[in-house]
Structure 1
Amino acid sequence: MGSIVAAAATSHVVMDPANIPAQAGLVIDGFRRIAAEVARTQPDLLLYITSDHMVNLGYRLQPSFALGCADSYTPLGDMDIPRQPMAGAGVFADALLRHLDEVGFDLARAESLDPDHGIALPMRIINPGGRVPVAPLLVNINRTPPPSPARCYALGQAIGAYIRSAACTQRVAVIGAGGLSHWIATPGMGRVNADFDRQVLSLLGAGQAAQIATWSTDYILENAGNGGLEIMCWLAMAGTVAGATGHTLYYEPIASWYTGMGAMAMDLAAA
């Protein structure tokens, strides 16, 4: 039987630190604290839940969920991220995909992905050198309709149940990435809703992710912007350890980065 040995969520971008060195330092420190937890727990693989920025899944095809099943990934190289290959957890991903199909979740299989900054940037710190194999799970937040918060949370619960079943033998670290509030290429661009972000962090920290799962996508769009839909990735992560409380690693509303930046680690003893 497998186990989830670490679970965390983080914003997945770093921009120009000029004029905000203290805030930027907190962001980097958040990545490093997640990296330390991953190193401490020594997982066999990382399940990394995030969005794609219309690079691998564009206008022609946008499934609700897509799971990378490759044995290696080479980053796209956007934001000047080195194209250093990272190991893929293909065998685990294939087995997970088949199990999820049996329990009512039809995920697209991605045999090849070029991870953009949403994966590759945090992995530079959390998983240096790409040593721990990664299974990337992409959640559609770009095209209408995105999966509902309830569906994302339920998917996380199904993933957690599989990992803890006799069918899985791996030690898994689960990371949800993206968000928090931000409006991209819309009239609200540059706005950050710190009250919304802190509510998300508070509910997740209190083990009340199920309450976030009752929200509508329209509610999230109105209060956190189109980029704020990436909290679905946090919600799926929380579903894998449903009932666990957590603690905020940092929160900074960074206007010059157009984003409410934050990170959280789950306290798995409470799961």
Structure 2
Amino acid sequence: MARITAGVATSHVPAVGAAIDLGKTAEPYWQPVFAGYDWSRQWIAGEKPDVVILVYNDHASAFDMRIIPTFAIGCAERYGICDEGWGPRPVPDVIGHPDLAWHIAQSCILDEFDLTIVNEMQVDHGLTVPMSLMFGQPEAWPVRVVPLAVNVVTYPPPSGNRCWLLGEAIARAVESYPEDLNVQVWGTGGMSHQLQGPRAGLINAEWDNRFLDWMSGPYGDELRAIPHIEYLRETGSEGIEMVMWLIMRGALGRDVRALHRHYHVPASNTAVGHLVLEPVR
């Protein structure tokens, strides 16, 4: 059967993607950001996952105010790269795994999670930047992807508890899939940042690192209990993206082992956080 072997959490800052695309990763400003992913790129090259279930948020590219799904699962064969205003990123199309995606959709919907099924969409930096951070700049991505888009742009976003429970439901779905697949779950977005208003540029390193501590241990109750207002107050309006990490964490089970941790400030006026976790069973 398929099995979830690891979880990855990472920020998906668009300027990080631009630094990769423009060959700036070795510049003094950017080098400390990318150095934190050196270990992860070596690790994943050895792990060779077959599929990544990649939890991210769309930034008004595939979805806009006309339709706002809380949870949307991509079931397509392929996902093109969208133009976010400065042309599509020069990265390969993302290849899906429709059989696994449809299985997850069916399993989760019958498990009382109302996922929106998407059979055609383009993906933006929320998905492609994590891929670049973990795999570099290949001619083709070495893994197939099941995109899971979460609304953290327009109120109301899902609660942390709901995200955690969805992660558990995804784990049940993967475990019931009959093909032998090495599956990873990635939670992306965050960490603390605010892009507008009087608090633009807010970074709360103390809160971010406490969150990383909780993500790295058996602290599900603490993570699930964080209310929306605490994310907004302590980590800025865009810090709410961290609820997406809880889908990944819920999918790994109660006990995890932290294999790698990275935190750096600043990266385009935001905090970059990154974890590699494996379940302990």
Name the residue aligned to 1:146. Answer: 157
Aligned partner of 1:36 in structure 2 is 42
CA contact (8 A) 2:4 2:182 kept: yes
Between 1:198-207 and 1:29-38, the stretch displaced more is 29-38
Q: 1:228 aligns with which of 239, 254, 261?
A: 239
Amino acid at match of 1:9: A
How far apart are the structure 2 equivalents of 1:266 and 1:211?
Answer: 18
Q: How do 1:1-271 and structure 2 match up within 5 A? A: 1-13=1-13, 14=16, 21=27, 24-78=30-84, 81-82=89-90, 84-127=92-135, 128=138, 129-165=140-176, 167=178, 169-243=180-254, 244-254=256-266, 257-268=268-279, 270-271=280-281
Q: Residues of 1 paired with 2:97 and 2:261: CA distance?
A: 27
> Which string of whole-angstrom CA distances, capped at 9 and with x for unpartnered residues, describes residues 151-190 of structure 1?
0011001111221235464220111111000112232111
1:197: Cα distance to partner? 0.4
Structure 1 pair 210–246 and aligned structure 2 pair: CA distance change class (3 A): farther
Q: Give the letter aligned to residue 61 of structure 1.
A: I
Q: Is the 8 A contact 1:46 1:173 kept in 2?
A: yes
Contact 2:9–2:187 (Cα < 8 Å) also in 1: yes
Q: 1-side partners of 2:92 and 2:219: how far apart?
A: 38
Q: Structure 2: any 5+ residue segments left out of the alignment?
A: none
CA distance in 2, matches of 1:242, 1:113: 30
- Counterpart of 1:100 in 2: which secondary structure? helix
Offset at residue 16 of structure 1 (A): 5.7
| Cα pair 2:103 2:177 within 8 Å, conserved | no
Q: Shift in Å at residue 228 of structure 1?
A: 0.7
Which segment drifts farther, 85-94 or 125-134? 125-134
Gaps of 5+ in 1: none
What amino acid maps onto 2:102 in structure 1?
D
Q: In 2 relative to 1, CA 173–32 (structure 1 residues): closer, same or farther, beyond 3 Å?
A: farther
Structure 1 residue identity aligned to 2:126:
G
2:259 touches 2:276 (CA, 8 Å); kept in 1?
yes
**Could you tell me whether the CA contact under 8 Å between 1:66 and 1:108 is conserved in 2?**
yes
Query: Which deviates further from its counterpart, 39-48 or 119-128?
Result: 119-128
Percent identity over the alignment? 29
Encode CA deviations 1:222-241: one digit per residue, 9 max, x unaligned.
11112111111111100110
Work out the CA distance in 2 between the residues paired with 1:63 and 1:25: 36
Structure 2 distance, partners of 1:224, 1:150, is: 18
Letter in 1 for 2:45: A
CA distance in 1, matches of 2:56, 2:169: 17
Q: Displacement of 1:38 after TM fit?
A: 2.5
Amino acid paired to 1:124: S
Give the AA of the match of 2:192: S
Tell me the matched-pair count: 269
- Tell me how large the CA RMSD over aligned residues is: 2.3
| Whole-angstrom CA distance in 2 between matches of 1:5 and 1:49 | 16
Pair 1:225–1:247, CA change in 2 (3 A)? farther
Task: Name the CA shift for 1:239/1:130 in 2 (closer, same or farther; >3 Å).
Answer: same
Q: Which digits, 9 at most, give the CA deviation of each residue in 1:184-204, with x for residues without a partner?
A: 223211111111101110111
Decide which moves more: 223-232 or 122-131.
Answer: 122-131
Please give the TM-score of this superposition, normalised by the length of structure 1.
Answer: 0.91
1:59 and 1:166 map into 2 onto residues whose CA distance is 35
3-state SS, counterpart of residue 200 of structure 1 = helix
The answer on whether the counterparts of 1:6 and 1:37 sit within 8 Å (CA) in structure 2 is: no
1:209 and 1:242 in contact (8 A); partners too: no
Q: Distance in 1 between matches of 2:274 and 2:110?
A: 33
